Amino acid sequence: DQQVKQNSPSLSVQEGRISILNCDYTNSMFDYFLWYKKYPAEGPTFLISISSIKDKNEDGRFTVFLNKSAKHLSLHIVPSQPGDSAVYFCAIGQGGSEKLVFGKGTKLTVNP
Amino acid sequence: DTGVSQNPRHKITKRGQNVTFRCDPISEHNRLYWYRQTLGQGPEFLTYFQNEAQLEKSRLLSDRFSAERPKGSFSTLEIQRTEQGDSAMYLCASSPGWGNYGYTFGSGTRLTVV
């Protein structure tokens, strides 16, 4: 059973618009939440994170939102750029373990 | 430092053969991780080292899999008697400290078992 779900395999947006990527999780013990970006033929690259004591974290064009009651995580990219085209993975960790549980990923395409 | 280095980038092997992959982490990172990624899936945790000590292992890591980090620097992942189901991308990552989940991943070793 998947503990971390990214229900949209793909997303296409126009350059300059907002991209919203979503992630749902099942285990309320998870307490650290991250997004990774992956280009073809490369390993995932860490993008942004948030701990369970916050509900929002911002870094430039990227903002992560956490809704603990809904067990929902989202990544907003504003404005989207063609270079943002990649596969985005949400990943979740739990205190006491170094293990991350990843979703299956969402392929984002930003059209010029 | 050029980041996390993994060798080889690609490996094709016949079923039943043994294979070994190497990972060189960022030099000041004392934590090292192995993950496996199959097509259409996210990375799945295999194991974690703090310095030379292997502190966590996934149930995915069957008896045919063994990982080492003998001097707390580079690590090797060996798969014995490979099976077609072992075909995947094997990713290594490192991080500098406890609870720092912002790993730096290598580019991975793609294994194909024929």
Cα–Cα distance for residue pair B92/B106, rounded to 1 Å? 6
Which chain B residue shows the shortest CA-CA distance from A36? B102
Residue A104 confidence class, pLDDT cut points 50, 70, 90? very high
Question: What is the longest distance spanned by two Cα atoms in chain B?
Answer: 39
pLDDT at residue A1 is higher than 70: no
First and final CA of chain A: distance in angstroms?
Answer: 38
CB contact under 8 A, A32 and B99: yes
CB contact under 8 A, B101 and A45: no
Arithmetic mean of pLDDT over chain A: 94
CA distances to A35, A47, B7, B50, B56 from A82, rounded to whole Å, are: 18, 16, 31, 38, 39
Give the pLDDT of residue A60.
Answer: 97
**What's the rounded mean pLDDT across residues A74-103?**
94
Provide φ and ψ at A24, rounded to 5°: -120, 145
Q: CA of B107, closest CA in chain A: separation in Å? A: 4
In angstroms, the CA B48 to CA B23 distance is 13
| Interchain proximity B45–A4, CB inside 8 Å | no
Which chain A residues have a beta carbon less than 8 Å from that of B106? 43
CB A57 within 8 A of CB A100: no
Least confident segment among A1-5, A6-10, A78-82: A1-5
Whether residue B101 lies within 8 A of chain A, CB to CB, comes out as: yes
- Write out residues in chain B with pLDDT < 50, as ranges: none
Chosen from B30, B34, B45 to mutate, greatest number of chain A CBs within 10 A? B45
Q: Say whether residue B102 is in contact with chain A using an 8 A CB cutoff.
A: yes
Asked if the model's pLDDT at residue A103 lies above 70, the reply is: yes
Task: Give the count of beta carbons closer than 10 Å to the beta carbon of residue A55.
Answer: 11
pLDDT band at A96; cut points 50, 70, 90: confident
What pLDDT shows up at residue B98? 66
> 3-class DSSP state for residue A3?
coil
Compute CA distances A110 → A6, A14, A74, A77, B5, whole Å.
18, 6, 18, 11, 30
* Chain B residue with Cα closest to A47: B102
